[in-house]
Amino acid sequence: MTTRSLGPFQVSPIGLGCMNLSHAYGQPPSLEDAERLLLRALDLGVTLFDTAALYGFGANETLVGQVLAKHRQKFTLASKCGMQGVGFPDGVKRVIDGRPETLRATCEDSLRRLQTEVIDLYYLHRWDKQVPIEESVGALGDLVRAGKIRSVGLSEVSAHTLRRAHAEHPIAAVQTEYSLWTRNPEIAVLDTCAELGVAFVAFSPVARGFLTGQVRDVSALDAKDIRRAMPRFAPATYAANLGLLDGVAEVAREAGCSLAQLALAWLLQRAPHIIPIPGTTRLDHLEENLGALQVTLSAAQMARLDQVINRHTVQGPRYNPGNQVEIDTEEFSA
C-alpha cells in the first residue's frame, strides 16, 4: 500500500474513523465484532486509526486501547480533546472546553484509556471560542514538549484560525467533513493546508452513508442516530438529494466500482494531502472502502461528478443551528 504524509508520519491513504464502533449511529456493535473489525483493518494495511475522548464519552478510546495496544508500533494513533462528556445531575452532556488545564487533564485520561505512553496526533476537536486559539494550541505544544503527544491537529476550523494556530505551534493536520456533497473546505482551508504543508483529514467521506446509495429510508434510522438531527437527512430534503445518486451511479458503473469506492477515489484524486477516514461497523464495508485504492478516475469522470453533485445541487445545510455555532469552518454564502 502506498502512503501519504501526515505531519512526521507516513500513513495509509485511507484511515479508519473509529467513532461508529461506540457512538452516534445507533446501537454499536458487540465488543467481539468491534475487535474483529479493528484487527482486520490492521491486517489490511490501515495505519491511521482515529478516535476521540468524546466518542462514547471515553468508551471508544477504551475500545481502541483494549484491542490495539499490543500492536501499538504498527499504526499512527489519533485522538481528540476539547470536546468531551461531562457529568451533570441529569446525565452526561457534551461540553466544549479548550482551556489549557482541561486539555492537559483530558490528555492524561486519553493516555490511560488508550493504554499508550504517547498519542501520535492529538486534535483540538472544536475551537472553544471563549479561549484564544493560541492558548489552546500553546497547551498542546506543551504536551508535545512533555512527550505526551507527538503532533498537533485541529478539527473544523477556518483557514484564518489555522494560520493563527500554525504560528503558535506547527499543525500536522486539519480534520473536517469533506465529500462530494460537502464542499466547504474548497472555500479556503483545503488550499491553506497545502500551502502550509498540513495534511487534510476528511471525515464522513461517504457523506454519513448517503454516497453509498444504501441509506434510502431515513425514517428507518435508529432513534438515537445523529443523522436524525441533520437537515440534509430530513425526509423531504433527503428524498430530493437521493435523485443526485443516479448520475453518480452512472460514473461508478463506468469506473467499475461501488458508489462508496467512487466517493473515496474522488477524494484521493482531488489532492495528495487529503486522507479520508471512513468509519464502519461491518467487515464487508471496510474491505469495500479500501478497494477504492484500486480505482482510477479519468479527468472527464471527475468533472462529471463535480457537475452532478456540488454545493448548488445538494439541498440543506449539513448541521442544525445548534451545532453550526460550534464550528469555525467557512460556509458558502446563501
What positions carry a catalytic annotation? 55
Question: Can you tell me the distance from the alpha carbon of 300 to that of 179, in angstroms, rounded to the nearest whole number?
Answer: 18
User: Do 261 and 292 touch, CB atoms closer than 8 A?
Assistant: yes
Residue found under cell 491537529 = 153
Question: Can you tell me the distance from the alpha carbon of 216 to that of 210, in angstroms, rounded to the nearest whole number?
Answer: 8
Tell me phi and psi for residue 113, to 5 degrees. Answer: -65, -40
User: Do 19 and 55 touch, CB atoms closer than 8 A?
Assistant: yes
Number of H helices, E strands in the chain: 12, 12
How far lies 231's CA from each of 225, 241, 284, 326, in Å?
A: 13, 11, 29, 16
Q: Which three cell numbers stand for residue 40?
A: 482486520
Q: How many residues does the structure list for the chain?
A: 334
Helices in 53-180 by DSSP H: which ranges? 59-68, 100-114, 133-145, 159-168
Hey, how many other C-beta atoms are within 10 angstroms of the C-beta on 27?
A: 9
* One-letter amino acid of 241: N
Pairing of strands 274-276, 199-203: parallel
